[in-house]
Amino acid sequence: MTPQWYEKIKRVLEIDEGYRKKVYDCGTGKEAVAPIGKLTIGIGHNLQDNGLSDTIIDQLFFEDVAHALESAYRIFSIEIFESFNEVRQHCLIAMIFAMGEPKFKEFQKLIKFASIGSFEKAAAEILDSQWAVQVKHERSLRMFVMMKEGRYPDKYNIENVAS
């Protein structure tokens, strides 16, 4: 995948997941606080007070996207996944990134339809899911458009990402 591919998926995920330097509860969006002491990570890094630097956030992002990409290759096969246009790849990576491979694999019809190039039916499976209810409706609609039409919704402002 090219640097531009990563910049575009980063834009999608920053809008859908947010960008925070401090730990938070993804269910409520509220900053997390340890009931006793401080939230720490690594070798005593005080995550609660100091958060993470942009450099570390980027490293985590690239690692997490790499895991999602490996999952996509396992789920679809490398050949099938790479046959999808970039937008549909980003749709699937964003979903795998958000819910993890085990949960995404429950989308059996979406996987089947996307694998055979039936993108309209695959897109319908996005909206006809518990995940669409759990995430903001606007977000599931963006994923629907990406899968069905193979284009980025305007909200992502992808044309301003270097090509």
The predicted-structure confidence for 80-133, as pLDDT tens digits, reads as follows: 999 999 999 999 999 999 989 999 999 999 999 999 999 999 999 998 888 877
Locate 40 and state its tokens.
Answer: 């720490």
The residues facing 45 across adjacent strands are 41
Q: For residue 79, what are its two tokens? A: 């050949």
Dihedral over Cα of 56, 61, 67, 70: its sign: negative
Domains observed in the chain: 3-151 (1.10.530.40)
* Rounded Cα–Cα distance for residues 80 and 66 (Å): 17
pLDDT in tens, 120-144: 999 999 988 888 777 777 888 999 9
pLDDT at 160 over 80: no
Q: Whole-number mean pLDDT of the chain? A: 90
pLDDT tens digits, residue range 63-78? 999 999 999 999 999 9
- At 21 the pLDDT is 84
